[in-house]
Amino acid sequence: MCGRFTITHPNEALAALFDAVPGNDLPMTPNFNVCPTNTVAVVTSDGGVRRLRAMRWGFIPSWYKAPNDGPLIINARSDTVATKPAFKAAIRERRCIVPASGFYEWSEGENKARLPWYFTRADGLPMALAGVWQRWGDMDTVAIVSTEAGPGMGAIHHREPVILEREDWPLWLGEAGHGAAVLMKATAEGVMTKPYRVGVEVNSNRAFGAQLIEPVAA
């Protein structure tokens, strides 16, 4: 599951990291509370040319008559992405990477309180989250692929976003032939830092600012 994330790396740095041509309509950074329906920067590859493009986080299937014609789709499950009608074509033809500096996940506290935790890569680099995208009208929309949680998630949540390593980017983006399904797996132990609790302020989609990722006592 991935329902909120951060992007603190500049767009220029992301373009350089992914060797991508940046668009001129990319969202401003930093953003410490990227929420569903926000515009996000996404890496795609067309004929081997990578582009950093702006997309709406919230995949809109082709048959929707309006963006709110059905459920808001922000994640695609790795175990059903190849068979669900919404994603069948996208997983074959329109895979992408969603750069993120970190992401939030929630555990349940007393009285079902939602307790947020923050995850980042141990090496400090941006995460390359696996995604699928869809053109709807004149808008490009994206969903993040999730899988069963690995050891890095601990007991916080049973699912996590698929995080791609640099050597796997060409395969996921369709530049290195077929077989990308093998990449939809949990992150290896040690790739992510140990998560830490952050304040419940981030539970609001209206919250913003660097204080959102400051640790608090667990």
| Active site residues per annotation | 2, 105
CB neighbours of residue 89 within 10 Å? 12
CA distance 15 to 37: 22
Q: What is the distance, to the nearest Å, from the Cα of residue 126 to the centroid of all Cα atoms in its chain?
A: 11
**Which ranges in the chain belong to alpha helices (H)?**
11-17, 88-93, 169-172
- Phi then psi for 24, rounded to 5 degrees? -100, 10
CB neighbours of 77 closer than 8 A, spacing ≥ 6? Answer: 145, 146, 147, 159
CB neighbours of 118 closer than 8 A, spacing ≥ 6? Answer: 102, 103, 104, 195, 196, 197, 198, 213, 215
Q: Is 5:41 a contact under the CB 8 Å cutoff?
A: no
Amino acid at 77: R
CB neighbours of residue 81 within 10 Å? 24
